[in-house]
Structure 1
Amino acid sequence: MSNADVAELGYETARDELVDVVKTLEQGGLDLDASLALWERGEALARRCEEHLAGARRRVEQALAHAEEDLTHTEEVHTEDEDTGDAD
C-alpha cells in the first residue's frame, strides 16, 4: 500500500482513516507485513493531521496578531484625537 496519496488528504479524511487504522491494529489478526504496512500508513496519516493542525494554528495566530495590530492602531488614533481635541 502506497502512502503517497496521504499528502492530498484533507484533515477530516486523514483523521477518519487514522481512526480506522488504529481500530484495525487494535483488533489484531493481521500478519506481520500487513500490520507493518498499516502502521506505516497510520504514521503517515498522523503526520498529515499534524500538518493540517499546525497550519490552522499558524492561521489563527496570524489572525490574532492582525486583530491586535488593528486594535493597537485604533487605540493610538483614538488617543491622538483626545490629545489634540479633535472629535470625529
Structure 2
Amino acid sequence: MTESRPDATAIAADMPFEKALEQLEDIVRRLEKGDVALDESVTIYERGEALKRHCEMLLKRAEARIQRITLTPDGRAEGVAPLDVD
C-alpha cells in the first residue's frame, strides 16, 4: 500500500507573495539549522524551490504593471509608459 501525501511543490495560484515568502524563509531557517532528517530536507527543499518560482512569477507580474509617468518638455505630466527596468 502506498502512502498518499500532498505534492510538496503544489502552490496555490492565489497565494499572496508575502505568505509564500514567509513560508520560504521558514524553510531556509529549518534547512540552515541542520536538524531535519534527510527525507524531510529533500521534501522541504522541493517545496522551497516551488515557493521561490511562485515568488519570482509574482514579482514579474508586479513589474509588468508598474508604469512611469511621461512628461512634456516643460515638465508637465503627459501620460504613462511601461517602466524600463533593464
Structure 1: 5+ residue runs without aligned partners?
73-88
Q: Superposition RMSD on alpha carbons, in Å?
A: 1.9
Match of 2:45 among 34, 39, 44: 39
Aligned length: 68
- Tell me what 1:84 maps to: none
**Aligned partners of 1:6 and 1:48 also within 8 Å:** no
Structure with the largest fraction of strand:
2
Question: Whole-Å Cα distance in 2 between the matches of residues 16 and 36 of structure 1?
Answer: 19
**Aligned partners of 2:24 and 2:52 also within 8 Å:** yes
Match of 1:58 among 61, 64, 75: 64
CA displacement at 1:5 relative to structure 2: 3.0
What percentage of residue pairs aligned between the two structures are identical? 37
Report the TM-score, using the length of structure 2 for normalisation.
Answer: 0.68
Question: Whole-Å Cα distance in 2 between the matches of residues 55 and 35 of structure 1?
Answer: 30
Structure with the largest fraction of helix:
1
Q: Which has the higher contact order (CA 8 A, sep 6+)?
A: 1
Report the TM-score, using the length of structure 1 for normalisation.
Answer: 0.67
